[in-house]
Amino acid sequence: QKEVEQDPGPLSVPEGAIVSLNCTYSNSAFQYFMWYRQYSRKGPELLMYTYSSGNKEDGRFTAQVDKSSKYISLFIRDSQPSDSATYLCAMRGGGYQKVTFGIGTKLQVIP
C-alpha cells in the first residue's frame, strides 16, 4: 500500500463548478499537509499549507484535513479554465524534512 493515494484522473468539469480533489494516507505520523498546482512543463506551485484538522480557506480554495480518517481534500469554488492543471497533495511528519507526494490529479475545466 502506498503511503499516499491520489486518483490521477483526469477530472473534467464545466466552468463554474465546484471541484473536489482528495487524498488518503496511511502514515499516522503525517502532521503537515500541502496542496500544489502544477501547470504543464512547469514546477509545482504551493497553494495551501496546513497542519491541523479542519478547514483552511484562501480565496476560491479550501483545504480540508480529517486526521481521524486520514483524508485530505482541496475544494475549488467557481472553477475557471485557468485552474486546468495537475494538483498534487503532499504531507510530512513533524520531525522529518522529507515530504511524501501523491501522484497528482489532472483537472480540466471546460469553458
Which residues contact other proteins (rule: CB under 8 A)? 8, 32, 34, 36, 41-46, 49, 88, 90, 97-99, 101-104
* CA–CA separation, 89 and 72 (whole Å): 8
Question: What's 41's DSSP letter?
Answer: T
* CA–CA separation, 9 and 108 (whole Å): 10
- Between 9 and 62, whose beta carbon lies closer to other proteins? 9
CB of 22 to other proteins, least distance (A): 16
Residue 11 bridge partners (DSSP): 107
- Between 97 and 111, whose beta carbon lies closer to other proteins? 97
CB of 97 to other proteins, least distance (A): 5
